Amino acid sequence: MGPTASGKSQLAIHLRRYLPIELISVDSALIYRGMNIGTAKPSFFDLYNHPHRLLNIKDPIEYYSAAEFQKDALKEINKVIELGKIPFLVGGTMFYYNVLLHGLSFLPAANIKVREYLLQKYHKKEFLYKKLKIIDPISANRIHKNDFYRILRALEVFYLSGKNLTELKKNKNYQFPYNIAQFSMMPPSKEWLNNRIELRIKKMLMLGFQEEVEILFFRGDLHRHLPSIHCIGYRQMWEYLEYKISYQEMVHKIIYATRKLAKNQLTWLKRWKNLHIILSNSCINILIDQILNKLQKISKEYI
């Protein structure tokens, strides 16, 4: 685990030289095909030599829930174990990790017709949020008023099941079936991570991120309310292509949103239990030695 731009993917790829691991992606943006530059997806060469499971599994028009991830991740973990190898999960979507390890009460699958109905009926996200406050004030207090996708999902659950999220989450009986070792790459400082984020975004733009989004923009069947287009970078570039903001505003908004994401990821990690911390600015060999030594100690505890 670790915040965005901390070097998780490259470390995981290097670890394959030392451990019989199979990589499983835990990233809500890397699931989409055709969204490569803006999600900092590993290169074609890296993916050819080091395949990642649960990557490129959805078209950008499709929805993918945390419950689906839990089901798919457990399936891939079992497949890797059947091969006699170690499942190695890597990514920065903390909510996915949380759902995989601690479970999620039964929730209905995403329904495009219900979402379209909600969008047509309430038009603006502030109206959606007001509706959520009426049917589920506890969830409304927990979800930020600007978190459009989670607000929409909470309302969708209510319209499909007749019960709100708070009621459904009371009934949860789940236990992750395996022993695990949890590592997090942590930045040495806020400034170090912010610099890495800014460099990544500048590189992303140089590599042709605008052209990548233009392909999606001119497809004709995608819109900014989809979870795929709501990904950081894509929604800001979408606004720029719609002439709603300037190029400079777009770049500034991407940097700001990415730094905010990293801050939220670090908040999750600071309260995470049983987490082994490794510093992102250490050289790759030191990081690998730290992980191998820690795994050796943990394996002795399980024997």
Q: Would you state the pLDDT for residue 102?
A: 87
Give how far Cα 242 sits from Cα of 28, 194, 259, Å: 25, 28, 24
Q: For residue 25, what are the β-bridge partners? A: 90
Lowest-confidence segment of 59-73, 99-113, 209-223, 254-268 by average pLDDT: 99-113
Domains of the chain: 8-104+174-302 (3.40.50.300), 112-168 (1.10.20.140)
What's at 93, amino acid-wise? T
- How far from chain centre, in Å, is Cα 15? 22
Q: Kindly write down the DSSP assignment for every residue of 134-179, as one continuous string.
A: HH-HHHHHHS-TT-HHHHHHHHHHHHHHSS-HHHHTT-------S-
Distance, CA of 54 to CA of 73 (rounded, Å): 8
In degrees and rounded to multiples of 5, residue 80 shows phi and psi of: -65, -45
User: What does the pLDDT look like over 252-296, one tens digit per residue?
Assistant: 999 999 999 999 999 999 999 999 999 999 999 999 999 999 999
DSSP 84: T
* pLDDT over threshold 60, residue 303: no
pTM over 0.85: no
DSSP 63: -
**Cα angle: 301, vertex 11, 206; to 5 degrees:** 160
Q: How far apart are the first and last CA of the chain?
A: 25
**Cα angle: 58, vertex 64, 70; to 5 degrees:** 110
Distance, CA of 239 to CA of 232 (rounded, Å): 12
Give how far Cα 202 sits from Cα of 34, 37, 38, 205, 249, Å: 20, 11, 11, 5, 14
Q: Would you state the pLDDT for residue 268?
A: 93
